[in-house]
Structure formats: C-alpha cells, structure tokens
Amino acid sequence: MLFKDVMGDEALKRQLISMVKEHRISHALLFLAHEGAAGFALAVAFAQYISCQNRGEHDSCGVCSSCIKYEKLSHPDLHLLFPNSTSPQVKKDPDSEQFYTVFRDFAVKNHYFITLTDWLETIEGENKQPSINLRDTSNIMNWNSTRSYEGEYKIYILWMAERLHYAAAPRLLKTLEEPENKSLFILISESADTILPTILSRTQMIKIGKPDVALVIAKLTALFGITPSRARELAMSCDGNINNAIKLLQNNQSDNTMLVRFRKYWQSIHSFAQNKDRQEIDFQSACHAVDEVVKEGREYQKGFVRYLLRMVRLILLENSGAGLVKVSAAEQAVLNAFYGTLNVTNTTPIMQECNKALFHIERNGNTALILTDLYFKISGFLTGNRR
C-alpha cells in the first residue's frame, strides 16, 4: 500500500514520513481512526515505507522486494493481529495466526477498507465476542525475541486494539514498555476510551480524522469507475463512511436495509407516543424490525443502535432548519416523515437511553428485550413522560 493510494489527510502522511526521515519513530503508536477512515490502510502504508529498500521523498518505491511483499501483506517482518474467535474452521484455541491467510485476502479484497462486522461474517463468527487474546500476545512475545528476517524493523499492527482481551492486555504492557530494539507496534482503534489507560500511556496517539465527502467521492470513483453523481449519492447516504458506501454499492441497493429497519421501528414508536387507537399502532412492523436485527450478529445489533443514534441527531438537526443535513434522498424522505418528533428537551435522554442499550448489548444482553425496552422508553420521552 503506497501513501498516494491511501484516502486521508495529506498533512498526516507528511508527518509520518518525517518521523521516518528524522529517525523519530516511536516504538508504539496508536492510530485513533473514525469508523470509515483509512486507519488500517495508513498503518500498512507507514509500515511499508519504513521497510522499503529504496524509499522516495514522499512515498515507498513500490517495486523493491519488500514493497512487493507488503502489497500482498506477506512480508516476514510484518505481523497482523486482529479480533478472532472460534469458527467452523477453527473450533478450539483460535489466534490471529490461524486466520492470517483469510484475513490477508479479506483486507486486500476490500481495498483495505475493513470493518469488524464484515470480518466476522467472513469467518462465520457473527454471534461470538471476538478478541485479540492470550495466544496472540504469547505469539507477539515469541516473535519479539527473535531478530527481523529482512528489514530493519519488526512491525506489529494490532487492528481493533480495543478488542484486546482484558487478560491479554497486561501481558502486552511490558513488551510495549521495554520492546526489543527495532520493534514497532501500531495499534489501530476506533475508541480510545475502551483501551486500558496503562496501554494508552505507553503509546503515541495519532488521530486520523473523518474523511470529507469529496475524498470519499474521489475514492469511490477511482476504485469502482462509477459516475461522480452516483459516488456522491453513496457518500452522502453513508455520511462519509466509505465502508458503508462500498457495501451499498456492492449490494446494488438504492436504499439501506438499516434505514428500512429504523423506519419501521421509529414509526411504531411515534404512533405509540401519540396515544392513537391501539389498532392503528403498527406493533407488528416494530417487532419484525427487532426480530430482523436480533437474527444478525452482535456487531450488527450494535450497529443498529449506533444508526438509531445517528438518525436521532439528524432529525433534530433537520428540525433546526439550518440546512446543515447532508444525506441521501432515501434518508431525507425519512427525516421529512419524522420532522418535528424531536426537540432539544427529549433528544438528550433518548440518546442516553440509546447509549445504555449499546452498553448492555456489548455485554451480551438479550437484544430483543433491550430494543423492546428502548422502544417504550423512547415513546415516553416523545410524550414527555417516562413509561
């Protein structure tokens, strides 16, 4: 992966290049990336630049033996660690090594725009709680006790570092604090709040901002050869999250399944809050939407609640009349349908309840009960009463 192929902040790329040129490479970096940002791609590009045998002023050469191996994620001094769990293929004692080939193909196939939900679908582990586990940290310590094979550095990329298992994290602390010479750890996370403070204190944080819509449009156009207007529609629909935009494009959908499920769920809540005749309230659609979400993996379930949070914010923003909302035509139709249902007073407690629901789903709560409970709580806030 060359820097020029990474969608992102050019100033940040220059900063990383300067670190290499000026020999200021920290032994442990934390790439804090928004969902949909090119955190993984940037980490690979940075690692490739460090290992390149003929580095240029602004990028890797792309043709040396090291670069060729990095393009295939097969360099012997590159170690990828990522959330894993048991699966139909690995029924016991999983670790990243056992999934390495599958993960490498998954990343390359998806142009390095990868999500945990898609990864779990790939290994058929949707209903598991994946982690970077004790076996992974043991492997790190074993690799770190040997010298590099070809390059100057041994480089470890831990994707979704917030999934570092609570029992595995302490074993990594000493290695991060006293690494072997020429060892580089790049942790990639979407949420620094869920990483142990002791690990955060041992890393240099690099924040990767959310890509603007123009960058997403350009990348979609370049990767898939679609028209700029189609790329803009996808980018706006996904609020700049290129992972979601790619998924919509690949599914050839004009609308988002998540949006359809949200509409069913919210429409029933709204009807209930208006205290209409019970026969007019479409409980069945709401129950069906909940059932559809429950049938998906836990990562999708969390994604639904996050999407619910996003739409709540957008409805409130639409109500302000400031014209700041930039969404697809399908999402705009939903915002128009629910115009006026939210205000500053009820939005805050609704978002708090959504965050509580997310918290309980993350801890293996019963999603059907959680979403049903959320249904009645939101309806109470819409009427100004707690139910």
Is 91 a residue whose pLDDT tops 60? Answer: yes
Q: Any residues with CB less than 8 A from the CB of 214 and at least 6 apart, and which? A: none
What percentage of the chain has pLDDT greater than the value 90? 42
Convert the pLDDT of each residue in 140-157 to its tens digit. Answer: 999 988 888 887 899 999
Task: Indicate if the alpha-carbon torsion angle 188, 192, 196, 201 is positive or negative.
Answer: positive
Structure confidence at residue 61 (pLDDT) = 96
Specify the CATH number for the domain of residue 299.
1.20.272
User: 341 and 316 in one domain?
Assistant: yes
User: 161 and 25 in one domain?
Assistant: yes
Structure confidence at residue 81 (pLDDT) = 97
Distance CA 67, CA 256 (A): 38
User: 265 and 164 in one domain?
Assistant: no
Give which of 209, 213, 155 is closest to 180, Cα–Cα: 155
Run of H or E residues at 150: none
- What pLDDT band is residue 253 in, cutting at 50, 70 and 90? very low
Distance CA 38, CA 217 (A): 14
The overall average pLDDT reported for the chain is 87
Structure confidence at residue 55 (pLDDT) = 95
User: 54 and 185 in one domain?
Assistant: yes
User: 55 and 178 in one domain?
Assistant: yes
Domain boundary among the residues 221, 238, 253 is at: 253
Residue with more model confidence, 119 or 250: 119
Residue with more model confidence, 24 or 148: 24
Specify the CATH number for the domain of residue 102.
3.40.50.300
The sheet with strand 28-33 has its strands ordered as 78-81, 154-159, 183-189, 28-33, 204-208
Torsion of CA 240, 243, 246, 247, to 10 degrees: -120
User: 235 and 167 in one domain?
Assistant: no
User: 206 and 286 in one domain?
Assistant: no
Convert the pLDDT of each residue in 348-374 to its tens digit. Answer: 999 999 999 998 988 889 999 999 999
User: 198 and 220 in one domain?
Assistant: no
Domain boundary among the residues 253, 281, 314 is at: 253
Is 224 a residue whose pLDDT tops 60? Answer: yes
- The two structure tokens encoding residue 215: 């960058």
- The two structure tokens encoding residue 65: 């033996």
Which amino acid would we find at residue 370?
Answer: I
What residues pair up with 186 in beta bridges, in sequence order?
29, 157
Run of H or E residues at 126: none
Residue with more model confidence, 246 or 328: 246
Domain carrying residue 217: 212-253
Give which of 8, 34, 61 is closest to 219, Cα–Cα: 8
User: 277 and 234 in one domain?
Assistant: no
User: 50 and 185 in one domain?
Assistant: yes
Q: Name the domain count of the chain.
A: 3
User: 190 and 67 in one domain?
Assistant: yes
User: 14 and 160 in one domain?
Assistant: yes
Give which of 89, 93, 322 is closest to 103, Cα–Cα: 89
